[in-house]
């Protein structure tokens, strides 16, 4: 069945460091891919998405490119801030809103 | 952006009692709502999909008689955990999709259930 695999955390970085959180997926057909962020004490928020191969989703300085050849959707940010500390979830859906999530990666950014 | 609320945000109950959790879309109509369960340090697992005015569709392994879902209107879905036990303690999250269709939907803040 469909699945999403994320790198285990926590990822600990200093402010202004470069961030990469790896995400790979297994799915038949052409899924849509998402990154969600969950700040402490809050619900999930959609961070960015891509719906077809080679699409790049971007928001708030974060980017991820839909790579079908490597079945990946890695999240990147050039310069993280303390306020980016949160749990990041990679997810996919195939034609419906039924989301399949990865296990989440906790990011901790220190000043 | 669209807002989804959940109530209560935190509930503690005794084993054997039932608990109802509400999920509301505050500024849009949601044809479909989803209920997820999140264990500590784990991912969200879809429990069921509810469509307004019809019976919920449960994922494999989810007991429909234990987790009762009602989607009475386009802005409200409820999850009732019946005869709760300590192993039901978890974080329950709903999401709602507007009738216009938005991939991924909008998530509520979650409800933490602790069963003593």
Cβ B105–A97 below 8 Å, yes or no? yes
Residue of B nearest to A5 (CA): B43
Q: How far is A51 from chain B (nearest CA, A)?
A: 9
Whether the CB of B32 is below 8 Å from some CB of chain A: the reply is: yes
Task: Please tell me if residue B104 touches chain A, with a CB cutoff of 8 Å.
Answer: yes
The residue whose two tokens read 């569709």 is B57
Q: Which run of H or of E encompasses A58?
A: strand A56-59
SS3 A84: helix
In chain B, helix, strand, coil percent, each to 5? 5, 55, 45
What pLDDT, in 10s, does the model give residues A15-72? 999 999 999 999 988 899 999 999 887 778 899 999 999 999 999 999 999 999 999 9
Contacts of A34 in chain B (CB under 8 A): 103-104
- The beta-carbon neighbor of A43 closest among B43, B102, B108 is B108
Residues of B in contact with A2 (CB under 8 A): none
- Hey, of B103, B105, B110, B111, which one would you mutate to test binding to chain A, going by the most A CBs within 10 A of its CB? B103
pLDDT tens for A60-106 read 999 999 999 999 999 999 999 999 999 999 999 876 667 889 999 99
Residue B18's pLDDT is: 97
Contact call for B34 and A98, based on CB within 8 A: yes
- For residue A9, the model assigns a pLDDT of 85
Across chain B, which has 116 residues, the per-10-residue mean pLDDT values are 87 96 91 88 86 87 94 92 95 84 76 95
Q: Nearest by CB to A93, which of B6, B32, B104? A: B104
Return the pLDDT at A97. 65
- Predicted local distance difference test score (pLDDT) of residue B40: 76
Q: By the 8 A CB rule, do B46 and B34 touch?
A: yes
Q: Could you tell me which residues come within 8 angstroms of residue B76 by beta carbon, excluding any fewer than 6 positions away?
A: B22, B23, B24, B25
């Amino acid at each position: 069945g469909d699945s999403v695999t994320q790198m285990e955390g926590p990822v600990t970085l200093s402010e202004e460091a470069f961030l990469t959180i790896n995400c790979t997926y297994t799915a038949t057909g052409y899924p849509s891919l998402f990154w969600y962020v969950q700040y402490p004490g809050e619900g999930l928020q959609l961070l960015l998405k891509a719906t077809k191969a080679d699409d790049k989703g971007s928001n708030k300085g974060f980017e991820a490119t839909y790579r079908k050849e490597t079945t990946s959707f890695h999240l990147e940010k050039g310069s993280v801030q303390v306020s980016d500390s949160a749990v990041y979830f990679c997810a996919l859906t195939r034609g419906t809103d039924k989301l399949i999530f990865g296990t989440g990666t906790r990011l901790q950014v220190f000043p | 952006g669209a807002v989804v609320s959940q109530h209560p945000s935190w509930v503690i109950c005794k084993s054997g009692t039932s608990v109802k959790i509400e999920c509301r879309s505050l500024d849009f109509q949601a044809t479909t709502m989803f209920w997820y369960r999140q264990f500590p340090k784990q991912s969200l697992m879809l429990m069921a999909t509810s469509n307004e005015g019809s019976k919920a569709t449960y994922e494999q392994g989810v007991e429909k008689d234990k987790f009762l879902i009602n989607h009475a209107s386009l802005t409200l879905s409820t999850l009732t955990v019946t005869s709760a036990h300590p192993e039901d303690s978890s974080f329950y999250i709903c999401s709602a999709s507007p009738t216009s269709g938005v991939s991924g939907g909008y998530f509520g803040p979650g409800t933490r259930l602790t069963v003593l």
